[in-house]
Structure 1
Amino acid sequence: MSIQRRTFLATLGGSVAASTAGCLGSFTDDTAEGAITGEELTLTTTTSTYDTGLLDEVNAPFQDRFGVTVDTVSQGTGAALQTARNGDSDVVMVHARSLEDEFISEGYGVNRRDLMFNDFVIVGSADDPAGIAGMEAATDALETIAETESMFISRGDNSGTHTKELGLWDAAGVEISSGGEWYLEAGQGMGEVLTQADQQGAYTLADRGTYLSMRSDIGLEILVEGPVEGGPEALMNPYGIVAVNPAVHENVSYDLAMAYIGFITGPVAQEIIEEHTVNGEQLFFPESLSENPNFDQYVPEGWRNEENDADE
C-alpha cells in the first residue's frame, strides 16, 4: 500500500498539543478544540482493533477535536511495525510486546504506553474432534490437537496473534514446522482465518474481540477460555501504542502522534473503549489510567536487567 507522507509539524499549536499529551486531565469533554488543524495522522494497527469497529468510535472525537484526519492502516502487528520502520506511519497500535520491544530497542519507537487488553481463546467447531473443550491449559489443548492431527489454521502472518500462537506451540513442545497437512498457515487477518476455520471445521487461536464481533456469522465456539473468563494468564492479550521516533524519520507527524497517544490513553477514549460492545459483549478492557501506573510500560521488558549486566 502506498501511503502519502506529510510534512513535519512545525506549528506552535502542534507543540502545545504535544506538551499536554501526557496530562490525562487535559482531555475532557469540556476541552476546547485543539490547535492542530489541516493535518493527517497515519496510524498502523492490528486487524483486531479495526475489524471490531473500535477505532471508528475512538477516532471520531479525536478528529473532531483537533480538526485532523486519522488514516488507519490495518495490518498484522509485524507488518504494522515494519511500515513504521520505513517511516510510513506516525503511531503504531499493536499487541505483541516482544515485537514492540524490538521496535523500541532499535530506536524506531518512543513513548510507549499500555492501552487496553482482552485475551486469546482457542475456538473450533462444536463437534470438537480433538476433545479439547474445557481444558484449563492452552498448551495441553494444542498438544492434543497435534497428537490427533486435527486441522488447525494459523494466521501465519507475523501478527501479534501469530506470535502468541508460536510461543504456545513452543511451550507445548510441539514442532509445528513439521506439522504436516493438519497445520495450515493462512497468511491472512483474523477475520479471514475465523471464516476459513468455520468453513473447514478447524481450530484456531483468536483474539476474543474479533471472535465476538463475528460470532453471529460463524459456527465456531470457544473451547479453551482466556483469563477474561477465568482461563490461563498465558492467553492474556495486552495492547500498546507507540509513537514513531522523529529523530529517525523527521517527516513523521510526531506532535500529532503524541496528541493522539494523550487522547487515547485519557479518560474520554478509555471510557469509549470500556463501553464498546458487540451484541452486549465487551471486547476490550482499558488499562491506561491507574493510581499506581506500571512504569515498565515505557521501556522494553527486562531493560533493568540488561542495564545491570552491562554495568558488571
Structure 2
Amino acid sequence: MLVLAACGSSSAAGPSVERSLILATTTSTQDSGLLDELLPAFTEATGWTVKPVAVGSGQAIEMGRRGEADVLLVHSPAAEEEYVAEGTAGRRLLVMHNDFVLLGPADDPAGIRGASAADAMQRIAAAGALFVSRGDDSGTHARERSLWEKAGVAPGAPWYQETGQGMGATLRVAAEKAGYTLSDRATYLSQSGGLALLVEGDPGLLNVYHVIEVTQRAGERVQPEAAAAFADWITGPDAQQRIGEFGIAEYGQPLFVPDAGKPDPTAT
C-alpha cells in the first residue's frame, strides 16, 4: 500500500505526531495517475498524510460501511446514494467527471464503431464477440451492467469473460485477447494497450465522481476531521485547478473535468 509522506508538514502535525487518513478510492484514480498529482499537494496543504486503497467503488463503499476508511472518492452514483441514505456517511460532494468509452480491436468485428452504447452492446452479443468485463462491483462494472440491461442483453459465456480486476489490468487482458471492454476515458488514455476507441459521447456514458465523508457512526476508528479536511480540499480551488489541468500536457486534453460547485447531474 502506498503511503505518501508529508512534505514540510511537521509544523502542522506536530514534531512527533503523524496525522494519517485512509482514502478508499477507485482504481481509475490510481491507474490514471491522478492520485500521484493530488495527494502530495493535499499533504503539503493540510499536514495529513494519505494511505490510499484503490479498489472498485463497491468495495470502497463497503470499507466506508465498516468504518475502515475515513473518506471515499468513488464513481457509482446509485450505490453512493444508497450508502448515504443508510445514515453512517457525512457529506457527499460533487468533485469531477469524465466519461466511459467502449473499446475494442481496430478491425471491430462486431461493427460497433459510432453506434449508440445500447446498440453497440446488442451488436457485440449478436456477433458473439469477446467482451472482457471487470466483474468486480466497481463503478465501471455497475455502468456496464446497466448498459447490458438497457440493451436487453443478458451477457454470458463463452463470449463474456470477467477478470475480477481493476481497469488497467482489464484493459491489458482485453488487448491481449482482442476483445471489447468498457473503460473510463482517463485510464484508457493512460493505458490504452492498443485498443481502439469505438463508441463515445453517448449520454449514458457520463462518469461522475463524488467525495463522501465517513463518520464515527460507521466505527470509532473513523476520523471525521480527516474526512472533512480531504473533502474541503478536493472541492476547493487548488485541487479543482489541478484536476482540470491533469493530462493536458501529456495527452492534449484533461483526463477529468472539475465540477465542484456545479449542479450535480446525478441528483435524484
Normalising by structure 2, report the TM-score.
0.91
1:93 aligned partner:
73
The answer to whether the aligner puts 1:144 opposite 2:114 as a matched pair is: no
Distance 1:243 1:103 in 2: 11
CA RMSD between the two structures:
2.1
Q: Runs in 1 of length 4+ with deviation above 3 angstroms? A: 32-37
Q: Tell me if 1:289 matches 2:257.
A: no
Q: Where does the alignment leave 5 or more consecutive residues of structure 1 unmatched?
A: 2-31, 226-230, 303-312
Give the gaps of 5 or more residues in structure 2.
Answer: 2-8
Post-superposition offset of 1:233? 0.8
Q: Could you tell me which residue of structure 1 aligns to residue 199 of structure 2?
A: 224
CA-CA distance at 1:107 after TM superposition: 1.8
> Does residue 268 of structure 1 match 2:241?
no
Write the mapping of 1:144-223 to structure 2, written as runs, cut at 5 A. 144-176=123-155, 179-215=156-192, 218-223=193-198
CA distance in 1, matches of 2:251, 2:125: 34
The one-letter amino acid paired with 2:222 is V
Query: In the alignment, which of 69, 81, 84 is matched to residue 104 of structure 1?
Result: 84
Task: Check the 8 A contact 1:85/1:108 in 2, yes or no.
Answer: yes
How many residues align? The count is 258
Measured in 2, the distance between the counterparts of 1:186 and 1:256 equals 34
Q: Distance in 2 between matches of 1:261 and 1:139?
A: 35
**Distance between the aligned counterparts of 2:202 and 2:180, measured in 1?**
18
In structure 1, how many angstroms separate the alpha carbons of the residues matched to 2:236 and 2:183? Answer: 28
1:71 aligns with 2:48: no
| Deviations, residues 33-60 of structure 1 (Å, cap 9, x unaligned) | 9955521010000000011111111111
Give the Cα–Cα distance (whole angstroms) in 1 for the partners of residues 124 and 52 of structure 2: 36
CA distance in 1, matches of 2:191, 2:154: 30
**Amino acid corresponding to residue 184 of structure 1 in structure 2:** Q
CA contact (8 A) 2:27 2:56 kept: yes
**Quick one: distance in 1 between partners of 2:199 and 2:10?**
45
CA contact under 8 A between 2:70 and 2:223: conserved in structure 1?
yes
Aligned partner (choices 42, 48, 55) of residue 28 of structure 2: 48
Task: State how far apart, in whole Å, the 1-side matches of 2:53 and 2:196 are.
Answer: 29
CA distance in 2, matches of 1:101, 1:175: 26
Q: Which moved more, 1:40-49 or 1:276-285?
A: 276-285
CA distance, structure 2, for counterparts of residue 34 and residue 46 of structure 1: 31
3-state DSSP class of the match of 1:281?
Answer: coil
- Please show how residues 253-264 of structure 1 align to structure 2 within 5 Å: 253-264=223-234
TM-score by length of 1: 0.79
Are 1:134 and 2:120 an aligned pair? no
Kindly, what percent of the aligned residue pairs are identical?
45
d(CA) in 1 for partners of 2:187, 2:26: 11
Moved more, 58-67 or 154-163: 58-67
Partner residue, 1:307: none
**Mapped contact 1:34–1:65 kept (Cα < 8 A):** no
Q: Provide the residue aligned with 1:236 in structure 2.
A: 206
SS at match of 2:80: helix
Tell me if structure 1 keeps the 8 A contact 2:22–2:50: yes
CA distance in 1, matches of 2:90, 2:28: 23
